[in-house]
Structure 1
Amino acid sequence: MNKDYNFSVFVNSTDTYSDCWEPFFKLFKKFWKDYEGKIYLNTEEKDYHYEGLNIIPTKVAKFKDKNKLTWSECLLYAFSQIDTDIILYLQEDYFLKANVNHEKMLELVDLMLKYDLTYINIADSGNRGPFSPSTLHEDLWEVSQQDKYRISTQASLWNIKKMSNYVRKHESPWHFEYYGNIRSRRKKDAFYAVNRDKYNKHHQPIFPYDATGIVMRKWVREIVEDLFRDNDIIVDFEKRGFYDRTKDKKRFSKKPFFKKVIATVKSLI
C-alpha cells in the first residue's frame, strides 16, 4: 500500500456521478491487484474511500464556487494537487472487466519519461488514425495530425503539464477533444497509441474496459448490466435509466449560435 510509482491514476469525475464510484473502484481493486499507488478522484466537495485503495479526493470546490466551475477548471485544479508528471487518465464509467496488464503499463510509463512524450492512448477507442509505426518502440504507433480524435479522453497516459497546454478554462470535455485536437496541429508534440495489432479489446488489452458505461447520463445496458451482476455489484438502474440509441440523441453543445461562434474563436487561441 502507498507504493511509490512514477505515475498516478487520475479518475475524472464529478459529485453528480458518485453513484459510479462504488462499482468503479470495486472492479478496479479486483482487476488491478498489483497497483498500490495513488488514485486521484476528481470531486467538487464529496469525500470517498475504498478499503485497500489509496484514493485522494481532489474537492476542487475549495478553489472556486462549485456552481461556477467549468469542466476544464475542475481538471486544472485537480492537476495542481498531483505530485507526478505522468497520469493514467480515466473517467468514472470506464469499468474494468478483466485484469490490467500491470507490467506493460509500467513499461509504457517508462517510455513516456524516457522520451518526454505527451500522450499514449492505451485502449483501442479514442484515436481513430491514421497511424504509423513508431521508431521509438514496437509497441507504439504514432497518431497522425489528421486524426479527428488526436486528443481523446479515453483511457490514456498523459504528461499533465503538456495536457494542460491544450486545456482552455471555459471548455467542456467535448470542446476539449474537438478544439484541443485543432490546437494540437499547431504544436510539435507527438501523440502515440499502443500498437493495436498487438493490444486491442479482442487480444491482450492493457486496460480492458468498454467505452463507455454511461451515455447522456444514462447507463449503457450492454456494458454494465451483466458486468455488475457477475461481480455482485448492486445498482438501482432506474435512477438513471438506460440509454436508448433510438430515442436519446447526443448533442455537442446546447449553446445558442452566437455563443458557439464566440466559444470557437476563444478555443482556437
Structure 2
Amino acid sequence: MPERTIAIVVHACDRYELLYQGFAEFFTQRWPLDTRISGYYFLTEEKDYVNAPFKNIKTGRGEWSDRLKRGLEQIPESYILYLQEDMWLDKDVPAEAINGVIDFTLEKQPLLFKLNSSEVYKTLPTDRFISDFRLAKLDNQKSEYLMSHQASVWNKDFLMAQLEPCEHPWRNERKGTKRLRKLNPDIYHIDLLSENGKPPVNDNKPSARLSGYCTVSVNASLNEFAPKFIGQLKTTGDSEKMIYAGKLQYNFDHQLTHDGKPKPRKESLIKKLLKKFSS
C-alpha cells in the first residue's frame, strides 16, 4: 500500500463553481505531480467535481467550519496541505521543495506549517533549510493571522480542533487566531509560495526558487488579480478555455458575483457594527 504522507485539500463552496475550472487549469500547469503527495481532494457541498488528480468529496451544505470538518473526516491522511478554489498558481512550484516539506513534516510532525509569504508573519530563523528556503518559526505574539486559510500544512486532527461549530471563515480566522495565540504551538514557516506577489519573509538562499499564487476573489467577485489569468486563458488557442475566459471577463467587467448576481450594495455603518458585535 502506498505511503500516506500529505494530502492536498481544496476547500470550495458551490457558489464559487465559476472558479473551479480556473483553479484546475493553473494547478495542472504549475503544480508538480511527481512528488510524494499521497492524495488530492476537492471538497464541494453538493456539486460534482471531476478533474484528475482530484477526488471529489461532498460535505453537504452548512456553515464554513462544519463543512470543512465533515470533509476532513473523510480523508485518511494525517496531514493535509490546505488550499482554496480562488488560489490560482502564477508560478511553477518546485517538486524538490514539496518533497522537502513532506520530509520535514513526517520527521518533526508539526501541528501547523505555513507555506505562504505575507507581511503579517513575524518569524524567528532556524539553522535549517528546505530546498534553499530558510525554515523559521512564527513569533506567535507578534504575528497576525495565526489562523488563516492560506496555503499551509496542518496536522489534520489539530486543524479539526480549531473548527468551532457554525463559524464562518472570517470569524474562524479572527477567533481561531486568539485560540492559537493562547495555545502557543510551534508554527513553522517557509517562503515557498508568495501570496499575491508579496516578498519573502525569511533570509533564504539566493538560489531559492520562489513560486506563488494569487487569490482572485474578494467578496464573492473577481478582483484585480483576475485579469492576468483571463489573459493567459485567452491566448491558449483552446476553444473551451477561451469560452471560459469570456465568462470570467464578463463577470469581471460587470462586477458580478461568481454565481452571476449583481454585487450586493455596501452595508451601512450601523449594519457593520451590529454584525461585528454579534459575531
Q: What TM bracket, shorter-length normalisation?
A: 0.7 to 0.9
AA aligned opposite 1:152: S
Contact 2:12 2:84 in 1 (8 A): yes
Q: Which residue of 2 aligns with 1:129?
A: 121
Q: Structure 2 vs 1, CA of residues 119 and 100 (structure 1 numbering), >3 Å: closer, same or farther? A: same
Cα RMSD between the aligned structures? 2.9
Select the residue among 66, 86, 93 that pairs with 2:86: 93
Measured in 2, the distance between the counterparts of 1:190 and 1:119 equals: 7
Aligned-pair CA distance for 1:129: 2.6
Give yes or no for contact 1:130–1:144 (8 Å, CA) kept in 2: yes
Displacement of 1:239: 3.5
What amino acid sits opposite 1:133 in the alignment?
P
**Paired amino acid for 1:226:** K
CA contact (8 A) 2:9 2:41 kept: yes
- 3-state SS of paired residue (2:105): helix
Aligned residues: 242
Match status 1:185 vs 2:181? yes
1:224 counterpart residue number? 226
* Residue 40 of structure 1, CA deviation: 1.0
**Are the equivalent residues in 2 in contact too, given 1:145–1:185 (CA < 8 A)?**
yes
Using the TM superposition, name which of 132-141 and 39-48 deviates more. 132-141
Cα deviation, residue 54, structure 1: 2.3
Superposed displacement of residue 137, structure 1: 5.0
User: Residue in 2 aligned with 1:150?
Assistant: 146
Give the aligned partner of residue 19 of structure 1: 18
SS at match of 2:117: coil
8 Å CA contact 2:9–2:83 kept in 1: the answer is yes
Q: Specify the SS of the correspondent of 1:54.
A: coil
Q: CA deviation at 1:33?
A: 3.8
Tell me how far apart the structure 2 counterparts of residues 174 and 250 of structure 1 sit (CA, whole Å). 16
Within-5 A mapping of 1:36-51: 37-50=38-51
Shift of 1:152: 1.4
Distance in 2, matches of 1:39 and 1:110, equals: 18
Structure 1 segments, 4+ long, off by >3 Å, are 2-5, 135-138, 195-200, 239-243, 247-251, 254-257, 259-263
- For the residue of structure 2 that corresponds to 1:132, the secondary structure is strand
The 3-state SS of whatever aligns with 1:149 is: coil
The structural deviation recorded for 1:135 is 5.4
Contact 2:80 2:155 in 1 (8 A): yes
Question: Partner residue of 1:209?
Answer: 213
Identity of aligned residues (%): 24
Return 5+ residue gaps in structure 1 as ranges.
Answer: 264-269
Alignment CA distance shift 1:17-1:250 (3 Å): farther
**How many Å apart are 1:82 and its aligned residue?**
0.8
The CA deviation string for residues 52-96 of structure 1, in whole angstroms up to 9 with x for no partner, is: x221121111xxxx2xx1100000000001111111110101101
Q: Give ranges in structure 2 of 5+ residues lacking alignment.
A: 192-199, 257-263
CA shift at 1:136, angstroms? 5.8
- Residue 161 of structure 2 is aligned to residue 161 of structure 1: no
User: How far has the Cα of 1:107 moved from its partner?
Assistant: 0.9
Where does residue 6 of structure 1 map in the other structure? 5
Task: Provide the C-alpha distance between the structure 1 equivalents of 2:96 and 2:255, rounded to a whole number of angstroms.
Answer: 36
Distance 1:136 1:101, change over 3 A: same
Bigger shift: 96-105 or 28-37? Answer: 28-37
Distance 1:150 1:102 in 2: 26
1: distance between equivalents of 2:84 and 2:23? 9
Checking the alignment, whether the CA contact within 8 Å between 1:60 and 1:77 is kept in structure 2 is: yes
Q: What one-letter code is carried by the residue in structure 2 that aligns with 1:56?
A: K
Letter of the 1:167 partner, please give it: L
